[in-house]
Amino acid sequence: MFEHMTADRTANAIMQDSTFKGTNLVVEGTKDYKFYSKFFNIENTVQIKQVGGKEKVREVIELLNARNFNEKIGIIDSDFSKILSDEVNTENVFLTDFHDIEVMMFGSPALETTLNIYTTNEKIEKFLDGRKLRGIILDLAKQIGFLKLANHIYKLGLAFKPRQPQGKPLKYKDFIDNRTLDFKGNEQLITTVHNYSINRSDKVIDAKIVEEKVKELVDDKYDLLHLVNGHDLSNILFFLLKKVLRSPNMSLYDIHSIEDSLIMSYEARFWIDTELFKKIYDWGLSNNQTLFKEDIEHLYNKLRLEV
Q: State CA 157 to chain mean position distance.
A: 22
C-alpha distances out from residue 48 to 26, 262, 266, 273, Å: 6, 20, 19, 22
Would you call 62 exposed, middle or buried from its count of C-beta atoms within 10 A (0-12, 13-18, 19+)? middle
Q: What average pLDDT does this structure show over 160-182?
A: 92
Supply the mean pLDDT for the chain: 94
Residue 42 has pLDDT above 60, yes or no: yes
The domain ranges of the chain are: 2-97+274-306, 102-268
pLDDT band at 296 (very low <50, low <70, confident <90, very high): very high
Burial 7-27 (b: 16+ CB within 10 A, else e): beebbeebeeeeeeebbbbbb
Q: What is the pTM of this model?
A: 0.94
Percent with pLDDT over 90 in the chain? 88
C-alpha distances out from residue 100 to 57, 108, 121, 125, 233, Å: 15, 13, 27, 28, 11
pLDDT of res. 265: 98
HSE toward the beta carbon, residue 8, CA cutoff 13 A: 0
pLDDT of res. 81: 94
Residue 192, sorted as left (phi over 0), alpha (psi -120 to 50) or beta, turns out to be alpha
Q: What average pLDDT does this structure show over 183-192?
A: 96
Residue 1 has pLDDT above 70, yes or no: no
Q: What average pLDDT does this structure show over 12-27?
A: 94
Q: Cα 76–109–248 angle (5° rounding)?
A: 100
| Residues 15, 264: Cα–Cα separation, whole Å | 32
pLDDT of res. 14: 95
| Residues 172, 162: Cα–Cα separation, whole Å | 14
| Residues 284, 246: Cα–Cα separation, whole Å | 46
pLDDT of res. 3: 67
Instruction: Render pLDDT for 203-226 as a digit per residue (tens, 0 to 9).
Output: 999 999 999 999 999 877 899 999
Give the bridge partners for 49, in sequence order.
Answer: 26
pLDDT of res. 2: 63
Instruction: Render pLDDT for 123-160 as a digit per residue (tens, 0 to 9).
Output: 999 999 999 999 999 999 999 999 999 999 999 999 99
